[in-house]
């Protein structure tokens, strides 16, 4: 994806590799069950031999995180002190090198940013989308306002939620507001990249977008499997150690749990569902745009 | 797929539905574990209430098989007598109706048969492919002939296998030989449909073929999950019943095992790997053909 | 377990039932994958028909929670308002009835409390255990104090952790301190029940304790599977809805996530690992005590 | 189990180890999915580098089989020639050594054979069991004879099955008939061992037999996971290779499939369900026998 243009055949290979990665991740998750066959009593017998090392210090784990896109400024201060400070000089250098390279996240950002979708000479897709969103939200407003099953407190709450949803859409489409979010670190993708991703999600069924859609989904899957691994690992540690301290002096479970949801690289992709709208409200693309996304065979031959 | 032309967007929906089906099948397989929590002793307590009914007589199971593509002439005589004869009149009528409808297999056959791939005015794809196959087999012949690690008996055996492989390829490309196989019931797809499927497998990475490829794979998956369900069910019955007779007077396990591998509807698709050749030997398609399969963006914009 | 005495044969049945329950729970978790085959676009199409109902209002779900041991005072105020207030009169009555019955948690408490383990006329097990714990902690103290791989900050932190661990053990064995924890709602089991559970965990390999140990483990498993279901359900909702509001006006994901870890009934059992000590430090039971736990065959016959 | 007496605490460790083994086997099965992410085209690219080696020649695989209990005389002649003849001298010696050691199967046979269950001075358990079996079969005979839902052909078939079942039970209890089966290789366990296993299955809920029961079940599980691995491996090979020959000149899939069900070491345990009878018909053990299997607490203390 570093090249200016990725041939569509290569997208297929990229996705196949990502699917292999998530398959491997699933095996890594499943094999936690093997560690779980070890009882606390088994573990206590050799625990002392591990001090002061700790599984949290695995440099390989950090290398994978860095390759995906976690940079030093994403990590909590305590995390850096606690783990990275314990690496030896050579491993620190390896990690620094991995962190300085272009990450998968950065490749994704560049690829999405240069996509041509949504920008057409005589068709303003995003104002069509904006109109569709407004229509959807007005409809929701009516449903909530007139729903006899809601008492006043619930109705007020739902209407407040609706306004928040409206604000979310406005932010997506407003360059300045989105930049503000980006500056605050609340999103990681730029608006340009985000809009391409939304377009891909909306029109995923066209041949040109099927593989990009699968790639976005596979990246979310990589993230989720990482999260699931951390969660299952934390549960395993708690079950074996209880509230005891781990080797390496870490109060195991609590730390692990705090990192379960953090360090997600592709969270913006995970949240894409936020920007979808009902199928029948999605703007119909004009034929000229459609033809760029579709492959149509001469029906007389089919 | 009954229509003369399936828009590419619809292929995506078809595949999504097939993937939902295999996901449901996986749940059906997994829940056999719930039945397995029942011990033999538990089962023996209520077994007598089930006689003479038997799980094999489920009409829904037969309806699903019929919808996929199993016709009465595919079933063993004993199977028909044993199960179908026990259905009540109404269920027999429902089954007959399902068997008379166009099955998913028939839709697949029609769809693959009308595909234009491989037929080009001034490009004879299949002779290119045939040449590539010959080259591959000649190379294999040299490897086997000169391999010092093989003793004479093994070498002879491998050469014999190689000749069988060559015969397999020749049959695929020879209309008459293929028809003979078809008449004998050794393949279920016609040559025309089979060739389209091979083409899709070879060039699966092009946008136009990604979704057709996924559909073929999903159908194989449906078949495999069915087989796995039958296998796991047979093992469960054997574990609970031992060599005892089942309710309904069926000597449970043996019967079940015999149907595990039979009744596979999409076996031809499962065997497609037979016709693949190494990546670097696959014929390069001429630009005119390629452009029908690919979507290329103006690289100055990307 | 309501009876004054549970024959050992019945324990086996109890455990078999619990294992069936966790097997069923696993299927319930797995079938979330079927719901995940539904895309946001699919869901948006029928979402409006569900308003204002919401999955959170399932009365069956609440009945299961109540049967396990969740009483009204365990629920957050917002939870009660939000969901229970929406139930109809009949369902509210059913729930109230379930909440007033003896729960599985209460049966467990009663069963563990009346167990005779650890109380012997002329053998004070718990002071033996206490001595073993002190020895283990002293050993840990020496390891941390003399470990050259720890810098002063880390050493201080580990020693602080060690003191916390010591305090945890002291609290377990001190009736008053434990009661204080109990009053604060930080533990749900009484000290008497907790000590029986610790004893079972330590001597789980004796025939008399194998089944009680398995039952405790199965209850932890029931809890964990519930937690996993909530977690997977929350992830699914986030993936399908994004940051959108759910039907029923609940801001789906956030609420679901907040309940993932709460509402665990058997958390005390999950924490039992806290009180284990290395195998070679576990007190050797005197023969008279051992003979109550073991079945020894005349070795001349074996 | 080589010792004349296995303390009950050790049985627990044996079973924990077996459960770890089946957990590891499950991971081995699951990671076939990783291999499946490799397409035929991927495999074809490096296939030639593997010739003439083949996965079937793994000496470790044979060592595991030998440790479980497969001896040279259990293997098909073709299997021996095909794989074992290809091992180098050192590996052949290692395999021969493993095959000459006492296998897990032999340890099991010895352990079951020396068990005292069923042999009591003044209580002939096996004639009680025999009477219960006769009663069960007579009852089945009546049900089949009087069942109006069966036509004459089905009734005849079911009665024939019933006679076969009766014969199976008679053979179990008749030393000479059982020996004949054993000589023919149709069972691998001796009658003495088989009867102990049946006793354990019938009275599994007693504390003394819970762990032996679990061990028998875990051994069946080891066998089944092996079978499942072979089956999944065969399917994977077929999917990747099609009908092509594998590396090493083996016509991959067919060979693999033929070994899927063979080479099961603990098949006799798998078939134990054959000898079970409904719970209410199982002979009540006299108090003296019961007390050897149970641990009863002074109910005044509980």
Dump pLDDT digits (tens) for C183-212: 998 899 999 999 999 999 999 888 888 889
* pLDDT classification of C102: cutoffs 50, 70, 90: very high
**C-beta separation of D276 from D172 below 8 A:** no
C161–A251: do the CB atoms touch at under 8 Å? yes
Please state whether the peptide bond connecting residue A225 to the residue before it is cis, i.e. omega within 30 degrees of 0: no
> Of C47, C245, C272, which has the smallest distance from its Cβ to A165's Cβ?
C245
State residue D301's pLDDT score.
Answer: 38
Q: Which of A116, A204, A208 sits opposite B301 (nearest CB)?
A: A116
Which chain A residues have a beta carbon less than 8 Å from that of B205?
8-9, 12-13
- The whole-number pLDDT of residue C200 equals 94
CB contact under 8 A, A33 and D39: no
Query: What residues of C are in contact with residue D302 (Cβ under 8 Å)?
Result: 4-5, 114-116
Helices (H), chain B: 8-30, 32-36, 40-50, 59-68, 77-83, 89-100, 104-113, 125-146, 152-173, 175-183, 191-202, 207-241, 252-260, 267-270, 287-293
* Interchain CB contacts (distance < 8 Å): B and C: 36
* C247 or C260: which leads in pLDDT: C260
pLDDT computed for residue C278 by the predictor: 82
Count residue pairs from C and D with Cβ separation < 8 A: 71
Distance CA A52, CA A47 (A): 10
Q: Do D210 and C206 count as a contact with CB atoms less than 8 A apart? A: no
% residues pLDDT > 70 (chain C):
79
Q: For the ranges B64-73, B268-277, C261-270, which has the lowest average pLDDT?
A: C261-270
Of D147, D244, D280, the CB nearest to B274: D244
Q: Determine whether the interchain pair B9/A205 forms a contact, defined as Cβ–Cβ distance below 8 Å.
A: yes
SS3 D268: helix
- Which of A20, A34, A38 lies nearest to residue D27, judging by beta carbons? A34
Mark yes or no for CB contact A208/B12 under 8 Å: no
Q: What is the model's pLDDT at position C237? A: 79
pLDDT band for position C299 (cuts 50, 70, 90): very low
Would you state the pLDDT for residue D254?
52
Select the residue from A3, A9, A111, A284 to test the B interface by mutation, using most B Cβ atoms within 10 A.
A9
Q: Which residues of D touch A19 (CB under 8 A)?
A: 37
Alpha carbon of C169: minimum distance to chain B alpha carbons (Å):
38
Indicate yes or no: CB of D297 within 8 angstroms of CB of C301: no
- The beta-carbon neighbor of C273 closest among A157, A165, A242 is A242
Mean pLDDT, chain A, rounded, equals 82
pLDDT tens-place string over residues C216-237: 999 999 998 988 888 888 778 7
DSSP letter, residue C285: P
Which pLDDT belongs to residue A10? 83
Residues of C in contact with D296 (CB under 8 A): 7-8
pTM of full prediction above 0.90: no
Give tens-digit pLDDT for B102-145. 999 999 999 999 887 777 778 889 999 999 999 989 988 888 88
Please name the member of D147, D168, D239 whose beta carbon is closest to the beta carbon of B243. D168
**Cβ–Cβ of D271/B158 closer than 8 Å?**
no
Show the CA angle centred on residue D219, arms to residues D230 and C295, nearest 5°.
170
Residue A140: pLDDT over 70? yes
Decide if D23 and A34 are in contact by the 8 Å CB cutoff.
Answer: yes
Across the interface, whether the CB atoms of C41 and A240 are under 8 A apart is answered no
Q: Can you tell me the mean pLDDT for C255-282?
A: 79
pLDDT of A75 higher than 90: no
Coil, strand, or helix at residue D57?
helix
To probe the interface with D, which of A16, A20, A221 has the most D CB atoms within 10 Å?
A20
Q: Mean pLDDT throughout C245-266? A: 58
The tokens for A170 are: 């406005």
Question: Which residue of chain D is at minimal alpha-carbon distance from C12?
Answer: D205
Indicate which of A12, A207, A301 best probes the interface with B, i.e. most B CBs within 10 Å of its own CB: A207
Rounded average pLDDT over A125-142: 92
Contact B273 D240 (CB under 8 A): yes
How close A17 gets to chain D, by Cα (Å)? 8
Answer yes or no: is pLDDT of C249 > 70: no
Separation CA D282–CA D272 (nearest Å): 15
Interface test with chain B among D32, D40, D163, by most B beta carbons within 10 Å: D40
Chain B: closest CA distance from residue D60 (Å): 21
- Provide mean pLDDT across the span A112-128: 84
Which of B7, B19, B116, B205 to mutate against chain A (most A CBs within 10 Å)?
A: B205
Residue in C with minimal Cα distance to D14: C205
Q: For D25, name the nearest residue in chain A, comparing CA atoms only.
A: A34
pLDDT value at A205 more than 70: yes
- Classify the complex by whether its ipTM is higher than 0.95, answering yes or no: no
Least confident of A170-179, C74-83, D93-102: C74-83
Distance from CA of C58 to the nearest CA of B (A): 22
The shortest CB-CB distance from B23 to any of C24, C26, C37 is to: C37
Residue A121 or B302, more confident:
A121
Which tokens go with B106? 């028939």
Phi-psi region of D263 (alpha: psi -120 to 50; beta: other; left: phi over 0): left
Q: What is the mean pLDDT of residues B246-272?
A: 65
pLDDT band at C74 (very low <50, low <70, confident <90, very high): confident
Task: Out of B26, B27, B37, name the one closest to residue C23 (CB).
Answer: B37
Name the least confident of B285-299, C171-185, D149-163: B285-299
Structure confidence by residue, pLDDT tens digits, C3-14: 656 676 788 889
Cβ A245 vs Cβ C165: under 8 Å:
yes
| Candidates A147, A161, A270; nearest CB to C245 | A161
Judged by CB atoms closer than 8 Å, whether chains meet at C34 and B23 is answered as yes
Chain C residue numbers touching B37 (CB-CB < 8 A): 16, 19-20, 23
Contact D115 C296 (CB under 8 A): no
CA distance C27 to chain B (A): 6
Which residues of A are less than 8 Å from B9 in CB distance?
Answer: 205-206, 294
- CB A20 to CB D30 under 8 A? no
More confident residue, B55 or D94: D94
Please give the residue of chain B at the shortest CA–CA distance from A209.
B207
Report pLDDT for A117. Answer: 77
**Residue A47: its chain C contacts at CB < 8 A?**
278
| Sites in chain D below the pLDDT cut of 50 | 245-253, 298-302
Residue of D nearest to A15 (CA): D37
Average pLDDT over residues B290-298: 69
Instruction: Identify which of B16, B19, B30 has the shortest CB distance to residue C27.
Output: B30
Structure tokens at A291: 């033809």
Average pLDDT score, chain C: 82
Question: Cβ C30–B26 below 8 Å, yes or no?
Answer: yes
Closest CA–CA distance from residue A23 to any residue of chain D (Å): 6
In Å, how far is C294's CA from the nearest CA of chain D? 7
Chain A contact set for C235 (CB, 8 A): 224
Whole-angstrom CA distances from A104 to A7, A223, C68 are 18, 12, 46
In this predicted structure, the answer to whether residue C248 has a pLDDT above a threshold of 50 is no
């Amino acid at each position: 994806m570093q090249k200016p243009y990725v041939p569509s055949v290569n997208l297929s290979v990229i996705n196949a590799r990502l699917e292999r990665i998530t398959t491997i991740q699933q095996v890594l998750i499943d094999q936690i069950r093997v560690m779980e066959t070890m009882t606390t009593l088994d573990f206590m017998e050799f625990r002392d031999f591990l001090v002061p090392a700790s599984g949290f210090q695995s440099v390989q784990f950090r290398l994978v995180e860095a390759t995906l896109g976690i940079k030093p400024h994403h990590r909590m201060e305590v995390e850096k002190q606690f783990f990275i400070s314990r690496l030896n000089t050579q491993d620190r250098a390896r990690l620094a090198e991995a962190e300085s390279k272009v990450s998968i996240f950065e490749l994704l950002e560049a690829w999405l940013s240069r996509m041509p979708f949504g920008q057409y000479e005589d068709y303003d897709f995003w104002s069509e989308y904006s109109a569709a969103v407004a229509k959807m939200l007005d409809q929701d407003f009516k449903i909530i306002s007139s729903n006899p099953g809601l008492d006043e407190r619930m109705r007020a709450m739902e209407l407040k939620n609706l306004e928040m949803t409206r604000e979310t859409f406005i932010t997506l489409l407003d360059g300045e507001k989105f930049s503000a979010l980006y500056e605050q670190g609340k999103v990681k993708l730029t608006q340009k990249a985000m809009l391409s991703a939304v377009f891909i999600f909306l029109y995923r069924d066209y041949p040109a977008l099927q593989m990009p859609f699968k790639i976005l989904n596979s990246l979310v899957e990589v993230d989720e499997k990482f999260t699931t691994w951390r969660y299952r690992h934390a549960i395993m540690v708690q079950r074996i150690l209880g509230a005891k301290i781990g080797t390496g002096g870490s109060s195991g479970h609590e730390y692990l749990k705090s990192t379960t949801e953090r360090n997600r690289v592709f969270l913006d992709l995970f949240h894409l569902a936020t920007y979808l709208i009902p199928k029948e409200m999605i703007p119909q693309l004009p034929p000229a745009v459609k033809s760029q996304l579709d492959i149509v065979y001469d029906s007389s031959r089919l």
